[in-house]
Amino acid sequence: MYHFFVSPEQIGENEIRIEGPDVNHIKNVLRMHPGEEVRLCTGQDTKDYRCEIAQVGDTYVLAKIRWVEENGTELSSRLYLFQGLPKSDKMELIIQKAVELGVYEIIPVAAKRAVVKLDAKKEETKRKRWNAISESAAKQSKRMVIPKVTKVMSFAEAVAYAEDACDVRLIPYERAENMDRTRELLSALQPGQSVGIFIGPEGGFEDTEVEAAMEHGMQAITLGRRILRTETAGLAVLSALMFQLESR
């Protein structure tokens, strides 16, 4: 069943009016017709609208609501990925896979070792692209929300943001030891706790950044004896957290 997102104001008592780019996709790409079923969500709550297409117009599609249910596809905790800006198009891969794994929000971080430098114009273009990738991945993975990709933050801004948004804050660090400690921290997570994960760019975070983060209550963890690439490390942590939180 195809999955689309709509805004709350498009939802009526008995039907939903689909507008925007999805109309062309439904009409000309998928070639859907009245009577076919679609799954609609607002991207802002856990309501799942199962609908039947009633009318396909030039600029809209009307979908009759058949039933509404509370969907359980979201994790019990909000996961925030603070990702050091990587080179090339790696950020696109990271966003796509992080959304599939259940991330709630992605915060690009301009760490000291980040090679990529974005001016205001380039950042706005990138953000539009990144959020479009997030929405596409949310549709594919049957998410109930569309994870937001925020503005690029400095490391200090990201640490302050995490203090306000996250109950638990973790930073994988190559000098951290004791895998048992990492396991204990992950297994101690409680449903509803928000978790922030800080991932460095190529070359990792500088020691001064890690020290500053730990002074603000962040906990350094190890991901094992191997050095993971920036596009791998965050996904490894998110996978472990998904496994830990999925059944709660």
**Are 99 and 51 contained in the same domain?**
no
Q: Is 115 exposed, middle or buried (0-12, 13-18, 19+ CB in 10 A)?
A: exposed
Last residue of a domain, one of 70, 95, 125: 70
Q: Are residues 64 and 92 in the same domain?
A: no
Looking at the fold, whether 103 and 202 belong to one and the same domain comes out as yes
Q: Are residues 62 and 113 in the same domain?
A: no
pLDDT at 247: 61
Decide if 158 contacts 80 (C-beta within 8 A). no
Residues 122 and 66 in one domain: no
Distance CA 65, CA 58 (A): 21
- In the chain, the N- to C-terminal Cα span, in Å, equals 26
Can you give the C-alpha Rg of the chain in angstroms?
A: 20
Q: What is the pLDDT of residue 238?
A: 96
Give 45-70 pLDDT, tens digit per residue.
778 899 999 999 999 999 999 999 87
For residue 151, the SS3 value is: coil
Q: Are residues 10 and 90 in the same domain?
A: no
Domain count, the chain: 2
Residues of the chain below pLDDT 70? 71, 247-248
Do both 41 and 84 map to the same domain?
Answer: no
Q: Are residues 163 and 211 in the same domain?
A: yes
CATH classification of the domain holding 127: 3.40.1280.10
CA dihedral 8, 12, 13, 16 (to 10 degrees): -100
Indicate whether 211 and 125 sit together in one domain.
yes
192 plus 165 within the same structural domain: yes
Interval 93-114: pLDDT, tens: 999 999 999 999 999 999 998 9
Q: What are the helix (H) ranges across the chain?
A: 21-24, 90-100, 120-140, 155-165, 179-187, 207-215, 230-245
Residues ≥6 apart with Cβ < 8 Å to 39: 1, 2, 3, 4, 48, 49, 50, 51, 142
Question: How many other C-beta atoms lie within 10 A of the C-beta of residue 171?
Answer: 23
Do residues 42 and 135 share a domain? no
Task: Find out whether 56 and 35 touch, Cβ atoms under 8 Å.
Answer: no
Statement to judge: residues 123 and 158 lie in one domain = yes
Q: What is the pLDDT of residue 25?
A: 92
Last residue of a domain, one of 16, 49, 70: 70
Q: Supply the range of the domain harboring residue 161.
A: 79-245
The CATH number for 13's domain is 2.40.240.20
Read off the pTM: 0.85
